[in-house]
Amino acid sequence: MEILVPTSFDVSIFPHCDGSCRFIEDGTFVIATVVGPQHMSEKHQSHDPECGSFEIRCQVADRGALDRPLIERRIEENAASILNRTVDRKKFPRQVITLSILIVLNDGAATRLALNASVLALLDAAVPLLSIPLTVDYGDIRKNSGGLVTLDATSQEILSFESTGILDLDQLDSCFETARIRCTRLLDFIQSGADSQHSAMISVYDQSLTESTIADIIKNRNDVKEFLSTVSNHHNNTEGEQHEDGDLQMSNF
């Protein structure tokens, strides 16, 4: 059984950024922006003078979210573990590229969508990449198990799950092959949307986030406004000066 969820994306949505992407899947809404390459001061240069610097910052919009710092750090580390091997830093020596990720809404898919949105924002900014990594979720349900499927399970939902244990090798191979095929389809979906120069949309059973809802979120939520203002201010800093602490600095929009 294959289940499709509402999925859409837009690129080049913020003209003050070198690259940007809005990626939405069902109830999860992620924004990624890219600034750079920009020249940087000596204290921010990488140890290898022939390579540039690549920085990733993540922020969860819901400031009341449980374990917010942990979620932000986990998403940053996950994105860095993949994108640090993907971005060709030798192509922009003594310069810095800053990737900023904002989790506007999280219905369990934030980690996955953060990577997909980041890759599209990097492509939108024409950042040299060695590959195009994409992520999908895939699970194996035994026949006649009578179980229910929970899409994009949150950490609280996972605690209530019953499991038969780790996957055996046959299940792992099956999941890997199916996920590879789905990533190929996702890339085709993204390319078709890029070719048409507007957001592509998969036809699904229920559209939980409409375009008007998205517009209202961007217009009315102060956390989104502050994030975009921060990115804009960072972009206007042509000398590439960075904030000393790891958090995004807030300012009025």
Give the residue extent of every domain in the chain: 7-133+201-236
Say whether pLDDT at 241 is over 50: no
Q: Supply the pLDDT for residue 214.
A: 46
Neighbours of 98 (CB within 10 A): 23
The model's pLDDT over 156-200, given as tens digits with 9 standing for 90+, comes to 555 555 555 566 677 667 666 766 777 676 677 666 655 444 333
- pLDDT value, residue 244: 35
38 vs 150: which has the higher pLDDT? 38
Residue 198's Cβ-count burial label (10 Å; 0-12, 13-18, 19+) is exposed
Q: Which amino acid is at 2?
A: E
Instruction: Strands of the chain (E only): list them.
Output: 7-11, 19-25, 28-39, 53-60, 95-105, 200-201
Q: Which of 39-43, 138-142, 157-161, 238-242 has the lowest mean pLDDT?
A: 238-242
In the predicted structure, residue 133 carries a pLDDT above the cut 90: no
Q: Give the phi and the psi of residue 102 in degrees, each rounded to 5.
A: -120, 120
DSSP code of residue 100: E
The predicted pLDDT at position 57 comes to 92
pLDDT at 39 over 80: yes
- Provide the pLDDT for residue 99: 94
* CA nearest neighbour of 240 among 100, 102, 97, 99: 97
CA distances from 252 to 94, 101, 124, 157, 230 (A): 31, 19, 26, 36, 9
By percentage, how much of the chain surpasses pLDDT 70? 50
Predicted structure pTM score: 0.65
- Report the first-to-last Cα separation within the chain, whole angstroms: 46
Lowest model confidence (mean pLDDT) among 2-16, 124-138, 162-176, 232-246: 232-246
Residue 100 token pair? 């900023």
Q: Nearest CA to 119 among 190, 196, 211, 224?
A: 190
Confidence tier at 13 by pLDDT (50, 70, 90):
confident
Q: How confident is the model at residue 227 (pLDDT cuts 50, 70, 90)?
A: low
pLDDT exceeds cutoff 90 at 61: no
Mean pLDDT value across residues 95-103: 91
Do 31 and 104 form a contact (C-beta atoms < 8 A)?
A: yes
Cα dihedral 187, 192, 195, 199 sign: negative
**Which pLDDT score is estimated for 101?**
93
* Token output for 165: 């244990």
95 or 252: which carries more pLDDT confidence? 95
Class of domain 7-133+201-236: alpha beta
